[in-house]
């Protein structure tokens, strides 16, 4: 049978892809449908038809799945942020466990490892300590803040994200009113004109401290003193800053920072360790689950106080300092110079002296250090970006005959690829624990223990 664009069918959703889109079949022909849940029976309109599959739009639910819930967010369908908000939370956790298992078995080709249940959240909303709101205009010319619609740069107007801090809405209302009154223009991506690109808000979970950072296409925010005066009335704000980004880029933050009022950082804790966090710092966005993740990493590292540990892709030293409490010596490597400065400050502030930090690419610094010193590490912690690790880095680990590798991954597909490479180098996967750091989304963090054979 030939299927055509704009045809409408009744479709039973029997599966989901890795992006959270439901999948149903018409006589064996797969149709991917966003915003559907396994078990839904839906009226679906075909919007794109390829040779071997098609894409559909949900028009109407005929019979909702028992695993479907009403989303808390008014713009859940339009916004590109929460792909799983229609799923019950237990079903979200099941989806993520299956995603990790499928990647490890299909890409990694590994079996015989111990898979632990995912560590979920008691309250899977309002957990994010960081939010970045694009600023623009709506069709009527009014200045708005919100989020990009899925796979676009069109702004969906929304100030009260159910994943973010409850203070975000009040902060944005003050900023938008200020911009309207003083005719401060929002940035237009297509013409590279206008001033305010984004508003970045960070909040310390344990301290409550709030940072507001205006990202601008310029070097000066007009009437800045008036904005500071208005924001200061809100409780817990300890830092008001400007970030200058005049590049034609999708990258949100530029390199130059200007402090308008207060500190150029906020502080927060992971366990007993205090961290300073700047606008440019990488700091896990879910503080509750970060402690769970790091405790699991510490358990897998199995430190007795005699070990030399390398923390590759160390950021501002969050894991390094956590591990240093139990290790003989920890070395951290990070490509971002500002992050390494923060890491050194954080070590000093917490009086942790058995750590040393290097600026540079992990795949260059670590092999060069080994060639020069020929010292062996006992444990290596890997926490790479989504693209995973460079093979030269994994080769150095194998040459060094490192006993244990603790790999923390934000992309289980590249984790599985690297596990397979390490398997060929004499290592085997022992334990896997997913951690739900990003509830309501398809993203999942995974921590694994890899042992030398």
Find all residues with CB under 8 Å of 50, minimum gap 6, and list them.
none
421: closest CA among 398, 443, 445, 448?
398
Q: How far apart are alpha carbons 143 and 349 in whole angstroms?
A: 42
Lookup: tokens for 184:
């401060």
Q: How far apart are alpha carbons 429 and 447 in whole angstroms?
A: 11
SS3 at position 397: helix
Instruction: Measure the CA angle with vertex 324, ends 323 and 329; round to 5°.
Output: 120
SS3 at position 16: strand
Q: How far apart are alpha carbons 131 and 202 in whole angstroms?
A: 7
* Residue 389 annotated to the active site: no
- Strand (E) positions, 190-327? 196-203, 210-216, 237-244, 256-262, 266-270, 273-277, 308-312
Active-site residue, selected from the candidate residues 79, 213, 314, 410 = 410
Q: Is 150 exposed, middle or buried (0-12, 13-18, 19+ CB in 10 A)?
A: middle
CA dist list (Å): 109 to 83, 203, 422, 423, 424: 28, 41, 12, 10, 11
422: closest CA among 379, 387, 451?
451
DSSP class per residue in 313-374: S-TTTHHHHHHHTTSSEEEEEES-HHHHHHHHHHHHHTT--SEEEEES-HHHHHHHHHHHH-
Tell me 42's DSSP state.
Answer: E
Q: How far apart are alpha carbons 337 and 208 in whole angstroms?
A: 27
- Residues taking part in catalysis: 410
């Amino acid at each position: 049978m030939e299927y055509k664009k704009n045809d409408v069918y009744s479709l039973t959703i029997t599966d989901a892809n890795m992006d959270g889109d439901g999948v149903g079949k018409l006589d064996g022909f797969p149709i991917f449908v966003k915003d559907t849940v396994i078990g839904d029976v839906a009226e679906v309109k075909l919007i794109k038809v390829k040779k071997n599959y098609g894409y559909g739009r949900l028009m109407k639910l005929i019979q909702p799945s028992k695993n479907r819930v009403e989303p808390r967010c008014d713009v859940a369908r339009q916004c590109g942020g929460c792909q799983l908000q229609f799923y019950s939370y237990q079903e979200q956790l099941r989806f993520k466990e299956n995603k990790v298992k499928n990647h490890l078995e299909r890409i990694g080709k590994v079996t015989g490892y111990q898979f632990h249940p995912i560590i979920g959240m008691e309250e899977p909303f309002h957990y994010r300590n960081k939010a970045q709101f694009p600023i623009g205009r709506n069709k009527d010319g009014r200045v708005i803040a919100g989020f990009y619609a899925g796979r676009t740069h069109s702004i969906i107007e929304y100030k009260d994200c159910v994943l973010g801090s409850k203070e975000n809405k009040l902060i944005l209302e003050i900023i938008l009113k200020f911009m309207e009154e003083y005719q401060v223009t929002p940035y237009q991506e297509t013409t590279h004109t206008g001033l305010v690109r984004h508003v970045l808000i960070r909040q310390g979970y344990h301290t409550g401290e709030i940072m507001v950072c205006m990202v601008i296409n310029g070097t000066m925010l007009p009437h800045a003193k008036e904005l500071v005066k208005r924001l200061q009335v809100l409780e817990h704000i300890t830092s008001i800053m400007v970030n200058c980004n005049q590049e034609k880029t999708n990258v949100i933050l530029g390199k130059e920072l200007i402090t308008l009022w207060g500190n150029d950082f906020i502080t927060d804790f992971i366990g007993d360790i205090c961290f300073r966090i700047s606008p440019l710092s990488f700091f896990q966005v879910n503080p509750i689950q970060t402690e769970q993740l790091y405790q699991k990493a510490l358990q897998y590292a199995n430190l007795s106080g005699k070990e030399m540990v390398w923390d590759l892709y160390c950021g501002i030293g969050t894991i390094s300092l956590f591990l240093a409490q139990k290790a003989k010596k920890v070395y951290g490597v990070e490509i971002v110079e500002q992050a390494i400065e923060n890491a050194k400050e954080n070590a000093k502030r917490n009086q942790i002296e058995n750590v040393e930090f290097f600026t540079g690419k992990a795949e260059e610094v670590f092999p060069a250090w080994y060639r020069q010193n020929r010292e062996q590490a006992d444990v290596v912690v890997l926490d790479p970006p989504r693209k995973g690790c460079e093979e030269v880095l994994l080769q150095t680990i194998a040459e060094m005959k490192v006993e244990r590798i603790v790999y923390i991954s934000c992309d289980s597909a590249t984790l599985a690829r690297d596990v397979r490479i390490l398997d060929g180098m004499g290592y085997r996967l022992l334990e896997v624990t997913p951690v739900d750091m990003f509830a309501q989304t398809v993203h999942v963090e995974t921590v694994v223990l890899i042992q030398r054979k």
